[in-house]
Amino acid sequence: MGGTNIDTSRDVHLVVPASAEYLRLVRLTAAGLASRMGFTFDEVEDLRIAVDELCFLLVGDGEMGRTMELRYSSGEGSISIEGYTKLPGPSPEPNDLSEQILSALVDDHEVVAHGGEVRFRLLKQREEV
């Protein structure tokens, strides 16, 4: 995906079933990493909401046996999260409301769907105090 320059030695990889029940674990991982990096409470909540919005696309219809893979990368004052899954049928795209929410919550995001694969990337910068 994008060319964000992030130190991969501090990456966290998470593979979970592509099911709504596991979105809590995805959000907790994002919140834990962001908190450890010194993000404010509001920034952590923004990140949790954004990753939930994007992962919901990966869940699809909740077909059994599929997984979603996530990579959380911490950089200098930023966190990047990439998600991936394979989906049967048409690839979902964020609706207008989701796009507005994501634009308000994170500094950059994208969703790429091609050939039954769906990937997303988001970037959240920590505000300098």
| Mean pLDDT of the residues in the chain | 87
Q: Is 26 helix (H, G, I), strand (E, B) or coil?
A: helix
DSSP string, 63-87: -TT-EEEEEEEEETTEEEEEEEEE-
Residue 112: exposure state from Cβ atoms within 10 A (0-12, 13-18, ≥19)? middle
CA distance 109 to 124: 9
> Does residue 74 surpass a pLDDT of 80?
yes
Domains observed in the chain? 8-125 (3.30.565.10)
pLDDT at residue 3, rounded to an integer: 46
Is 71's pLDDT higher than 80? yes
Model confidence pLDDT, tens digit, residues 14-48: 999 998 899 999 999 999 999 999 999 999 999 99
Q: Return the ∠ at Cα 102 (arms to 96 and 103), rounded to 5°.
A: 90
pTM of the model: 0.86
Instruction: Considering only the C-alpha atoms of the chain, give the largest distance between any 2 of them, rounded to a whole number of Å.
Output: 46
Confidence label for 10 from pLDDT (cuts 50, 70 and 90): confident
